[in-house]
């Protein structure tokens, strides 16, 4: 059974239909890239899978690990192992990054009938991952994302992912706003997480992230539908010819972003 | 309606948990206020002549005053002749000598409130002077404190046992003519706490009083006086919950603090008077005058308050910074939900040289709550080198509530430095969703954000109180990881 199975998914925001029938099957261990121009519905797909209520699912089904995903609350999806690395990580003033992550990990552990970790055990557990993502202690003591640079925010997302160990990770434009060094660091963090039990959906506008995180499959999204699917070479084709080569118009204005 | 708004409403709509009326017979006098009533109160308490005169003087002055209307609060007119001005639990007549003799009903009341006296007595090292209605019925650790020279007990006892001390300081910080409610209190105050810490003594435990309004339609007029003599230190905790009822109840307390040379007083409050129901019916009117005088050099007075209750809160714990190098602090969290109204803040009056004051105010508004910060910083002409830092932050939950800030600055000395910061924020749907995507429920997310918002104030509370404050705000503890 596939880890994630999306069938004919339709979603609207306000009275505008953004997703117009998405079909996608993701097996454990696979990395799928979703590419497409601005406004094609990439971010909407990521947000709908995470359960953002801003979007209304008007048709179709999503099965995750045998469960009806659309019936679960966002927090239950997270506890069941779905992680969304946000395109725009949210700032939460007053709440320390460390405390936030410990609270998240403990709710997830509780859901899995694992004992909650105390501060010491938690620190012990994350130390290695901090080093890997170049997250120093001061960054962890600061309020969640508050005053973080763009790169720090994205690193923080991947660090959270490493700590929470999801089964399905959805990376929404994780490369946006990163310089090449930061991109390599983030990609290394993601690659370290690849495993036979874990699936990833990597949403990106550009091919450059996919040179670092090499996908098993590439899907091209346009106007709310997957118009083309292929292997990793599809990303290179797009790089060479652009979306126009596939006959896709790029919209000037980005929509569907939260 | 979005999920986060729902959660915020759920939290905002949480019913008052401590609402119940205890069945203790009260020894009450008839409704209304007159010179005779003032005399009767004084007589019932066997007060000396000077105190009766002091009360009468206050009463006569009160008659010439009008209720203040400048606060940003709205309530129906109070009929001062429809209030019972004195009630004492009957059990007082057979004055209990130990907890065993205390009315078991009263002890159960405390238990319902989660304040098991005995447990506190034995385990926590907190001396509890419990004000139940108007008369103190249980005082603990008094002997131990006495051995160090610390006087701590009910105000009435102090009047009997230490009349000179009371007379020396009563009304010297908040004069009986100070304001309408202070004058009323001065005329009819029933009881309260008194504390004197002698020279050089560091009070070995946190002093704590739990206030509780219980007898029906009884106004509660506490009078508290705390004096820290030269080099002394005392930390005083005040907390209260009140039972559910429909009639608005007037609560007009006066608290006076006096800090002499190098003395320090830390006064912490968790206030949870009955706020009224979801529609704004009932609830306590809390019109309080709290003021501390830093009389000595290098003295310090620190107010910390967590205000979650009352239908109306009118309260400005203030500091008179008279001694050179004296320090005044005010840390406040005020939460209003449903139809609660709070107009609260502080006044810092810089009189001596090189005086410093800090104000950190956090207002949280939910439901239809209206939250006003009103703060005054006054630097007098001779107060060279004065410094003030003020920070007022407001957090809005939902879109029916309001936050208002009125900072007043009056500076008459050019060598002073003042800083003022203010912010208003709203718990956003995107913040809630971000938390939920990490597995944290909406309710916990709101708690976490609210707690994070109040952290700077909670940090100032003694440990015993921090827990209670967190419970009151319904938040999860933000641990100090790393």
Beta-carbon separation of B478 and A102 below 8 A: no
Contact with chain B for residue A117, Cβ under 8 A: no
Report how far apart, in Å, the C-alpha atoms of B233 and of each of A112, A202, B396 are: 50, 61, 37
- Cβ of residue B443 closer than 8 Å to a chain A Cβ: no
Q: How many beta-carbon contacts under 8 Å exist across A and B?
A: 100
Q: Is the ipTM of this complex over 0.90?
A: yes
CA dist A242 and B2 (Å) reads 39
Give me the pLDDT at residue B464, please.
65
Best residue in A73, A90, A172 for a mutation probing chain B (most B CBs within 10 Å): A90
Substitution target from B2, B436, B437, B457 for chain A, most A beta carbons within 10 A:
B437
Total domains present in chain A: 1
With CA atoms as reference, the chain A residue closest to B454 would be A94
- pTM of structure: 0.77
**Which chain A residue is nearest to residue B423, measuring alpha carbons?**
A93
Annotate chain B with three-state secondary structure: CCHHHHHHHHHHCCCCCCCCCCCCCEEECCECCCHHHHHHHHHHCCCCHHHHHHHHHHHHHHHCCCCCCCCCCCCCCCCHHHCECCEEEHHHHHCCCCHHHCCHHHHHHHHHCCCCHHHHHHHHCCEEEEEECCEEEEECCHHHHHHCCCEEEEHHHHHHHCHHHHHHHCCCCCCCCCCHHHHHHHHHCCECEEEEECCCCECCCCEEEEEECCCCCECECEEEEEEECCCCEEEEEEEEECCCCCCCEEECCEEEEEECCCCEEEEEEEEECCCCCCCCCCCEEEEEEEEEEECCCCCEEEEEEEECCCCEEEECCEEEECCCCCEEEEEEEEEECCCCEEEEEEEEEECCCCCEEEEEEEEEECCCCEEEEEEEEEECCCCCCCEEEEEEEEEECCCCCEEEEEEEEEECCCCCEEEEEEEEEECCHHHHHHHHHCCCCHHHHHHHHHHHHHHHHHCCCCHHHHHHHHHHHCCCCCCCCC
CB pair distance less than 8 Å for A98 and B482: yes
Q: How near does any CA of chain B get to the CA of A8, in Å? A: 24
Show pLDDT as tens, one digit a residue, over chain A (258 residues).
Answer: 899 999 999 999 999 999 999 999 999 999 999 999 888 999 999 999 999 999 999 999 999 999 999 999 999 999 999 999 999 999 998 899 999 999 999 999 999 999 999 988 999 889 888 888 888 888 889 999 998 998 899 999 999 999 999 999 999 999 988 888 889 999 999 999 999 999 999 999 888 899 999 999 999 999 999 999 999 999 888 888 888 877 777 654 444 443
Q: Which residue of A has its CA nearest to B430?
A: A90
CB of A130 less than 8 A from some CB of B:
no
A49 CA: distance to closest CA in chain B (Å): 10
Task: Note the pLDDT of residue B18.
Answer: 52
Question: What torsion, rounded to 10 degrees, do the Cα atoms B450, B452, B455, B457 define?
Answer: -40
Which of A99, A141, A143 lies closest to B479 in CB terms? A99
Report the C-alpha gap between B140 and B206 in whole angstroms: 12
Q: Measure CB to CB from residue B482 to each of A52, A107, A141 and give the nearest one.
A: A141
Residues of B in contact with A160 (CB under 8 A): 438
Chain A residues lying within 8 Å of B437, measured CB to CB:
50-51, 74-75, 77-78, 83-84, 86
Q: Does A89 sit within 8 Å of B436, measured CB to CB? A: no
Report the residue of A54, A75, A114 to disrupt the B interface, i.e. the one with the largest count of B CBs within 10 Å: A75
B452–A95 CB contact, under 8 Å = yes
State residue B343's pLDDT score: 92
Q: Which residues of B are less than 8 Å from A171 in CB distance?
A: none
Q: Does A90 touch chain B (CB under 8 A)?
A: yes
Q: Which positions in chain A touch B434 (Cβ < 8 Å)?
A: 86, 89-90, 92
Provide the shortest C-alpha distance from residue A34 to chain B (in Å): 20
A136–chain B Cβ distance below 8 A for any pair? no
Mutate to test the interface with B, among A47, A99, A141, A258 (most CBs of B within 10 A): A99
**Closest approach of A17 to chain B, Cα-based (Å):** 20
A83/B448 Cβ within 8 A: no
Q: CB-based contact (8 Å) between B360 and chain A?
A: no
Residues within 8 A of A (CB atoms), B 61-90 only: none
B439 contacts A164? CB cut-off 8 A = yes
A73, A90, A160: residue with CB nearest B430: A90
Other CB atoms within 10 Å distance of the CB of residue B417 = 12
Contact A107 B440 (CB under 8 A): yes
Nearest CB partner across the interface for B481, out of A89, A99, A108: A99
Query: Per residue of chain B (482 residues), what is the pLDDT tens digit?
Result: 344 445 444 544 555 555 545 555 556 678 889 999 999 999 988 999 999 999 999 999 999 999 988 888 888 888 888 888 877 654 434 444 555 555 565 455 455 555 545 443 433 334 455 554 444 434 456 677 888 999 988 898 899 999 999 999 999 999 999 999 999 999 999 888 899 999 999 998 788 754 444 444 445 788 999 999 999 999 998 875 544 444 557 889 999 999 999 999 999 988 777 777 767 777 888 899 999 999 999 999 999 998 887 888 999 999 999 999 999 999 999 988 888 888 999 999 999 999 999 999 999 888 888 889 999 999 999 999 999 999 999 998 878 888 899 999 999 999 999 999 998 888 888 999 999 999 999 888 888 888 888 888 888 887 767 766 766 665 322 221 21
| Segments forming the whole domain that contains residue A78 | 4-254
Q: Would the CB atoms of B481 and A73 count as touching at under 8 Å?
A: no
Do A104 and B452 count as a contact with CB atoms less than 8 A apart? no
> Hey, is the C-beta of A160 within 8 angstroms of any chain B C-beta?
yes
In A, minimum Cα distance to B434 occurs at: A90
Find the CATH number of the domain harbouring A111: 3.40.50.300
Q: Is A179 on the interface with B (CB under 8 A)?
A: no
Helix (H) or strand (E) holding A240: helix A233-241
User: Which of A74, A96, A137 is the closest to B436 by Cβ?
Assistant: A74
Among chain A residues, CA nearest to B445: A100
**CB contact (8 A) between residue B436 and residue A73:** yes
Q: Which is nearest to B413 in space by CA: B321, B345, B346, B330? A: B321
| CB spacing of B481 vs A122 below 8 angstroms | yes
CA nearest B443 in A: which residue? A75
**In this complex, which of A75, A96, A164 lies closest to B436 when CB atoms are compared?**
A75
Minimal CA separation from B241 to chain A, in Å: 28
């Amino acid at each position: 059974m596939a880890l994630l199975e999306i069938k004919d998914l339709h979603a609207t925001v306000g009275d505008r239909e953004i997703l117009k029938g998405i079909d996608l099957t993701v097996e454990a261990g696979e990395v799928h890239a979703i590419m497409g121009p601005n406004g094609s519905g990439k971010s909407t797909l990521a947000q709908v899978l995470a359960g953002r209520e801003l979007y209304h699912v008007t048709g179709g089904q999503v099965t995750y690990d045998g469960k009806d995903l659309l019936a679960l609350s966002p927090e239950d999806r997270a506890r069941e192992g779905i992680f969304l690395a946000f395109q725009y990580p949210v700032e939460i003033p007053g709440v320390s990054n460390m405390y936030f992550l410990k609270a998240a990990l403990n709710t997830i552990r509780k859901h899995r009938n694992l004992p909650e970790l105390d501060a010491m055990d938690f620190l012990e557990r994350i130390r290695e991952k901090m080093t890997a993502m170049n997250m120093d202690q001061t960054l962890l003591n600061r309020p969640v994302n508050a005053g973080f640079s763009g790169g720090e925010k994205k690193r923080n997302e991947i660090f959270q992912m490493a700590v929470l160990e999801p089964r399905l990770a959805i990376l929404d434009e994780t490369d946006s706003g990163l310089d090449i060094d930061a991109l390599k660091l983030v990609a290394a963090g993601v690659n370290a997480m690849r495993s036979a039990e874990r699936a990833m959906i990597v949403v990106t506008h550009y091919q450059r992230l996919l040179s670092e995180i090499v996908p098993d499959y590439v899907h091209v999204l346009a106007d709310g539908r997957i118009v083309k699917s292929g292997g990793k070479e599809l990303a290179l084709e797009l790089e060479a010819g652009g979306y126009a080569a596939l006959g896709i118009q790029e919209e000037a204005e980005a929509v569907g972003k939260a | 309606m979005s999920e986060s708004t729902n959660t915020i409403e759920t939290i905002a709509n949480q019913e008052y948990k401590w609402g119940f009326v205890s069945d203790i017979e009260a020894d009450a006098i008839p409704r209304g206020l007159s010179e005779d009533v003032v005399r009767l109160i004084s007589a019932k308490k066997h007060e000396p002549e000077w105190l009766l005169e002091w009360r009468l003087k206050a009463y006569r002055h009160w008659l010439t005053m009008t209720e203040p209307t400048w606060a940003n609060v709205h309530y129906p007119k109070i009929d001062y002749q429809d209030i019972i001005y004195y009630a004492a639990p009957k059990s007082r007549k057979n004055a209990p000598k130990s907890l065993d003799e205390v009315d078991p009903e009263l002890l159960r009341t405390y238990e319902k409130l989660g304040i098991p006296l005995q447990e506190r007595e034995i385990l926590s090292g907190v001396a509890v002077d419990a004000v139940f209605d108007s008369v103190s019925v249980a005082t603990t650790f008094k002997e131990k404190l006495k051995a160090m020279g610390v006087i701590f007990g009910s105000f009435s006892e102090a009047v009997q046992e230490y009349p000179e001390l009371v007379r020396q300081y009563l009304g010297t910080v908040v004069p009986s003519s100070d304001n309408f409610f202070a004058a009323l209190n001065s005329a009819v105050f029933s009881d309260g706490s008194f504390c004197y810490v002698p020279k050089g003594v560091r009070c070995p435990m946190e002093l704590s009083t739990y206030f509780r309004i219980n007898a029906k339609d009884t106004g509660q007029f506490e009078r508290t006086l705390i004096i820290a003599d030269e080099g002394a230190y005392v930390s005083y905790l005040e907390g209260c919950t009140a039972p559910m009822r429909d009639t608005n109840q007037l609560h007009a307390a006066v608290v006076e603090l006096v800090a002499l040379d190098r003395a320090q007083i830390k006064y912490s409050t968790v206030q949870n008077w009955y706020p009224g129901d979801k529609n704004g019916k009932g609830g306590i009117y809390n019109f309080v005058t709290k003021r501390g005088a830093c009389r000595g050099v290098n003295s310090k007075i620190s107010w910390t308050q967590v205000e979650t209750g009352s239908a109306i809160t009118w309260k400005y714990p203030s500091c008179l910074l008279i001694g050179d190098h004296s320090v005044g602090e005010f840390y406040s969290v005020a939460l209003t939900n449903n139809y609660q109204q709070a107009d609260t803040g502080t006044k810092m009056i810089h009189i001596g040289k090189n005086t410093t004051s800090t104000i950190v105010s956090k207002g949280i508004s939910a439901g239809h709550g209206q939250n006003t910060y009103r703060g005054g910083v006054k630097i007098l002409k001779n107060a060279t080198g004065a410094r003030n830092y003020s920070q007022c932050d407001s957090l809005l939950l939902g879109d029916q509530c309001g936050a208002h800030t009125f900072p007043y600055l009056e500076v008459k000395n050019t060598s002073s430095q003042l800083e003022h910061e203010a912010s208003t924020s709203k718990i956003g749907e995107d913040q809630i969703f971000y938390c939920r995507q990490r597995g944290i429920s909406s309710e916990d997310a709101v708690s976490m954000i609210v707690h994070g918002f109040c952290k700077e104030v909670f940090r100032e509370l003694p440990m015993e109180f921090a827990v209670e404050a967190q419970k009151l705000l319904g938040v999860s503890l933000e641990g100090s990881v790393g």
